[in-house]
Structure 1
Amino acid sequence: MSNIPDSTTIDEIDRRILAILAKDPRIPYSDISHELAEEGFELSSEAVRQRVTSLLDVTTSFFLLRPDAHEWEIVLVTVRTEGGTGAKADVFEAMSEMSFWFVGSGFGTVDIYAHATVSSTAEVDRLVNDVRELEAASEVDYFVETGRSTAVEQYLRVE
């Protein structure tokens, strides 16, 4: 049995590797191997390297700095759309061209949500108003982050 996951499967070992890397992205493969061994997973440093290489093909690395340590804010904008077929796609495409660094589309109580980094409340107003001006954007709400708790283990489902 190979220690290398296929390109679409993330198993328990992969989740644990990702959790370790989330805490210390510069940790040597040998140290990851030792941490995994303490949890009952025996992998060589080379096997860890191969798994990390495979994981890099199916993940997006992202480092989210805490805005309270800088002179900028993170704003979340949510949008409900109306206008029939293509309305959601039109708003999604338009927002993807704005200064958001993440735009997501799905289903639920909102159709689209997006994150941006802004340097002032005036910039929040400008960005939110730009979204509100989109023809198919029927409801636009926003949230400026003032605090954060992050639990990558919950995201990765590491027990």
Structure 2
Amino acid sequence: MTDLDETDRRILELLAADARRPYSDIADDVGLSAPAVSDRVANLRESGVVKRFTVDVDRSQLRGGTPVLVEVTPEPGSTDGARDALAAADEVEHVFVTADGDVVVSARVPAEDVREWVADTVDLDGVRAYDVTLLSESSWRPSVGAEFALACDECGNTVTSEGETATIGGERHHFCCGSCLARFEERYERLDADA
């Protein structure tokens, strides 16, 4: 696995601030040519560090309603269903799954219909409890800090410079060690054979 250098980190910071920033502007900032920046961004995408370029939409400008945080505690085994149902809702902007399996979303919904919206969006038979918190303000600030690290695609641990990278099924994956890579490849081959 190739380590990110300071130039890569700075390119990521600039893209996080404005993903439409021209490569020539980034090149001026980092002291490279625009084609060299383009190559580095292509390498970051190929390695999986950059997954996509997106837009941060201020939904308050597009839709009425009240910003809320909704925390859903699903029944055991129901986390994926709750997450998928909430993620598919137009009102939801961000979806988080906690280590405990709770699903937390930020959404903009009509204040008088929040509980009805939750009931219509998620199968409450698969939910132990849910809580709604009204928000007065929110902000989103993507950052690339010094603690940036890839997660192992097998176990989730941090991938260091001693980790391994492999292209499996046409996609690039990162692993913290050779045994995680072997387990991932074995499972992929088994699933591919069953398909």
Distance 2:5 2:127 in 1: 39
Is the 8 Å Cα contact of residues 68 and 134 (structure 2) preserved in structure 1?
Answer: yes
Is the 8 Å Cα contact of residues 97 and 104 (structure 2) preserved in structure 1?
Answer: yes
TM-score, reference length from structure 2: 0.55
1:75 pairs with 68, 81, 100, which one?
68
Is the 8 Å Cα contact of residues 16 and 158 (structure 1) preserved in structure 2?
Answer: no
Partner of 2:183: none
The CA deviation at 1:134 is: 1.8
Is the 8 Å Cα contact of residues 86 and 122 (structure 2) preserved in structure 1?
Answer: no
Is the 8 Å Cα contact of residues 105 and 112 (structure 1) preserved in structure 2?
Answer: yes
Distance 2:34 2:87 in 1: 40
Unaligned 5+ segments in structure 2 are 148-195
Is the 8 Å Cα contact of residues 128 and 142 (structure 1) preserved in structure 2?
Answer: no
TM-score, reference length from structure 1: 0.65
Unaligned 5+ segments in structure 1 are 38-42
The CA deviation at 1:139 is: 1.6
For 1:104, the aligned partner's letter is: F
Partner of 1:114: 105
Partner of 1:14: 8
Structure 1 stretches of at least 4 aligned residues deviating more than 6 Å after TM superposition:
none
Partner of 1:103: 95
How many pairs are equivalent?
Answer: 142
1:91 pairs with 82, 86, 91, which one?
82
Partner of 2:33: 44
Distance 1:104 1:90 in 2: 13
Equivalent position SS for 2:125: coil
Distance 2:86 2:135 in 1: 20
Distance 1:131 1:10 in 2: 41
Partner of 2:145: 157
For 1:136, the aligned partner's letter is: G
Q: Per chain length, whose mean CA-contact separation is higher, i.e. which structure has more relative contact order (CA < 8 Å, sep 6+)? A: 1
For 2:96, the aligned partner's letter is: G
Equivalent position SS for 2:56: coil
Distance 1:74 1:54 in 2: 37
Identity of aligned residues (%): 29
Cα RMSD, aligned residues only = 3.3
The structure with the largest strand share of the pair is 2
